[in-house]
Structure formats: structure tokens, C-alpha cells
Amino acid sequence: MNKYDTKTIYCRKLGHFIPFLYCRRARDGDPCSHILDCWFGTFPIADYLKEHYSENEIQQIFSPPVPKLMTIIAIAEKAGKTVRGKRGIDDGI
């Protein structure tokens, strides 16, 4: 799986050169959703993805990310439940 990890390319999103290793782990261990666009002319990236990821995983990689506001709300709700749980406060208001 790490055959191409040391290859580098300019990342338009980050604004500097990065290795393929970073691209394939960019989203909490999953590949960046731009991986096909960025690495297309460098090596057979589509074949690489098909070889190392299931069809379901590939669909997940290219699905639109959850909006940041939704992520922040989910984190806040989880934190609130943790605090209430530690204080013994019932969620059923």
C-alpha cells in the first residue's frame, strides 16, 4: 500500500508540497477527497484506489464532507451529554 508514499506533489488546498502518504491519510485516516484530481497524471491513482479500498470506502472518500457547523453542533451536544452524565443530570427535560 505504501509504494507511492514518498512521491510528492504540490497541494493546491494546503499551498505547499506534500507526500502521497499525507494525501491517503488526510481525512482521519482516509484519503483526501481530491486525491484523484491531484495525482491523476503522476501514477495510476484510480487503479491504486480500486486495489486498496472497497467500493463502499471509495464512495465514502468522494462523498461530500459534513458541513463544519454540523460537526461543531454534534461535538457540543456530545460534550453536553458527557457533562450532564457526570453530574447525574437527566436528559429528559
- The model carries a pTM of 0.66
Is pLDDT above 70 for 85? yes
Q: What are the grid coordinates assigned to 90, written together? A: 437527566
- Can you spell out the DSSP letters for 20-70? HHHHTTTBTTBPPTTHHHHHTTTS-HHHHHHHHS-HHHHHHHTSPPPPHHH
Cα-to-chain-centroid distance, residue 7: 20
Q: pLDDT, tens digit, for every residue of 51-80? A: 999 999 999 999 987 788 998 999 999 998
- Compute the distance between CA of residue 82 and CA of residue 84 in angstroms, rounded to an integer: 6
Question: At residue 9, does pLDDT exceed 80?
Answer: yes
22-58 pLDDT, tens digit each = 999 998 888 999 999 999 999 999 999 999 999 999 9
Which residue bears the cell 510528492?
8
* Structure confidence at residue 2 (pLDDT): 83
